[in-house]
Amino acid sequence: MSHTAELQTRLARFRRVLELSRVLNSTLDLPSLLEQIIRAAREITQTEATSILLTDVKTGELYFEAATGTKSEEVKRVVVPPNSLAGWVAREGRPQVIDDVSSDPRFSPKSDLQSGFKTRALIAVPLRVKGRTIGVLEVVNRIDNTPFIDEDVDVLTALAAHAAIAIENARLFQQSDLISEMVHELRTPLTSVVAYSELLLRSDVGREQHRSFVETILQESTRLTQMINDFLDLARLQSGRARLAHTAVDLSALTRDCASVMMPQAQQKDIRLNVEAPEVMPTVQGDSGRLKQVLMNLLSNAVKYTASGGRVDAQVTPLDSSVRVAIRDTGRGIPESDLSHIFDKFYRVPDSEGWATGTGLGLSITKEIVEAHGGTIGVASQMGVGTTFTVTLPVEQQR
């Protein structure tokens, strides 16, 4: 190829980076943005796979947030050690090109086991914003199996510069959006606390009224505390700061344990709580505490919204490559118009019959936890018949 042709090819690649950057900077949804960055990196470097690692703002740990490959969901939120290749790039803030990873002691075969991909060569470049590194962008294996060249590093570095700004903007938008919603939701209970506190200062308040006002203040204060705790939990999950353990979890045993905890509440309302879970089950890879949080929230809601004399069933079913947990109740059901919003932040089904309501964050948190484990959650409901929430999680792959 002539020098002129090489120059034109190089300019074309950088023009493509600029085109891609415009698309990236117009996207404020973080998951969608990360997928676009992965596709863009593969395109401009003509590589087989890509991954994005982000730095935890509090702990400084580097973890996978997005990746290509058959195990891309399993890789998410897996922490990589500081002495790894990506750890070095994040720490030093400089790109690295490795033509043969087997010759570099910083590369661990564990990364391939986690991603389900065979790495031969890679480029890792830092994602930097205003002089600080927020993560690392990696591309793996040229499609034609040729060595990486300096131009590959240059175009990937240019893309990473735009990608880092887009990621930071998406994170800030996500945070500000959640905070504005939170402030809006806090107003109602805060207004009640202030109003009833002012009433208590009046001299004409009788003893019974006084007690009623204090009970209302306590109720609204408790709701505020729960809302703030739920908000912080959701913010940690959405930002990736919540570290998930990765151990073998028996969902059958966990479901039975959660049902045992809920049994007194069910019995108090004369609700039959039944569990169908095989004794022998394939395990899922995940965080037992967080998965317990999912099951407890779904069982608690089922008991809460089921009238006295009703029934709640928890069924655990092994599938080909996953485990399904279904929580069914015979409660009043959810109107069809509300089903599409049931996992939205702060969404509560309009209540005109005196049924219990919460902070409106429980199901959003539940969904975040399930999806962080590579699973899915769905809901089906019929008014006057009941509601079923279904969680499906991938089983641990035997090696």
Tell me which residue range forms the domain holding 109. 3-171
Contacts of 220 (CB under 8 A, 6+ apart): 189, 190, 192, 193, 196
pLDDT band at 354 (very low <50, low <70, confident <90, very high): very low
**211 assigned to some structural domain:** no
Q: Which of 109, 143, 171 is the last residue of a domain?
A: 171
Residues 148 and 21 in one domain: yes
pTM of this structure: 0.57
Residues 258 and 356 in one domain: yes
Closest alpha carbon to 157 in 45, 12, 30, 23: 45
pLDDT of residue 111: 67
Q: What is the pLDDT of residues 263-309, one digit of tens each?
A: 999 999 999 999 998 988 888 888 899 999 999 999 999 998 899 99
Residues 262 and 116 in one domain: no
Supply the CATH number for residue 58's domain: 3.30.450.40
**190 assigned to some structural domain:** no
pLDDT of residue 202: 81
pLDDT of residue 75: 58
Supply the CATH number for residue 358's domain: 3.30.565.10
As a whole number, the mean pLDDT across the chain is 83
Q: Which of 147, 171, 195 is the last residue of a domain?
A: 171
**388 assigned to some structural domain:** yes
Q: Tally the domains of the chain.
A: 2
Closest alpha carbon to 41 in 49, 31, 29: 49
The phi, psi pair for 218, rounded to 5°, reads: -60, -45
Residues 43 and 163 in one domain: yes
Q: Does position 205 have pLDDT exceeding 80, yes or no?
A: no
Residues 154 and 275 in one domain: no
Select the more confidently predicted residue: 223 or 264.
Answer: 264
Q: Does position 72 have pLDDT exceeding 60, yes or no?
A: no
DSSP element (H, E) containing 286:
strand 284-286
pLDDT of residue 143: 92
**212 assigned to some structural domain:** no
Residues 157 and 260 in one domain: no
pLDDT band at 118 (very low <50, low <70, confident <90, very high): confident
Q: Does position 346 have pLDDT exceeding 50, yes or no?
A: yes
Q: Which of 119, 143, 171 is the last residue of a domain?
A: 171
**41 assigned to some structural domain:** yes
* Radius of gyration for the chain, computed over Cα atoms and rounded to the nearest angstrom: 26
Q: What is the pLDDT of residues 82-116, one digit of tens each?
A: 888 889 999 999 999 998 888 888 887 766 666 66
Q: What percent of the chain has pLDDT over 70?
A: 86
Residues 264 and 349 in one domain: yes
Alpha carbons 44 and 52: distance in angstroms, whole number: 16
Residues 264 and 154 in one domain: no
Q: In whole angstroms, how far apart are CA 239 and each of 31, 38, 243? A: 11, 19, 11
Residues 149 and 30 in one domain: yes
Residues 399 and 255 in one domain: yes
Alpha carbons 355 and 281: distance in angstroms, whole number: 36
Judge contact between 271 and 311, C-beta under 8 A.
yes
pLDDT band at 6 (very low <50, low <70, confident <90, very high): low
Residues 18 and 163 in one domain: yes
One-character DSSP codes across 183-241: HHHHHHHHHHHHHHHHHHT-TT--HHHHHHHHHHHHHHHHHHHHHHHHHHHHHHHHHT-
Block residue for tokens 């641990």: 396
**203 assigned to some structural domain:** no
Residues 300 and 399 in one domain: yes
What is the average pLDDT across 72-81?
A: 67
* Residues β-bridged to residue 132: 129
Among 134-148, 219-233, 287-301, 375-389, name the one with the lowest average pLDDT: 219-233
**349 assigned to some structural domain:** yes
* Residues β-bridged to residue 48: none
**224 assigned to some structural domain:** no
Alpha carbons 236 and 231: distance in angstroms, whole number: 9
Q: In whole angstroms, how far apart are CA 157 and each of 7, 17, 127, 339, 368? A: 18, 10, 8, 44, 31
Alpha carbons 72 and 255: distance in angstroms, whole number: 27
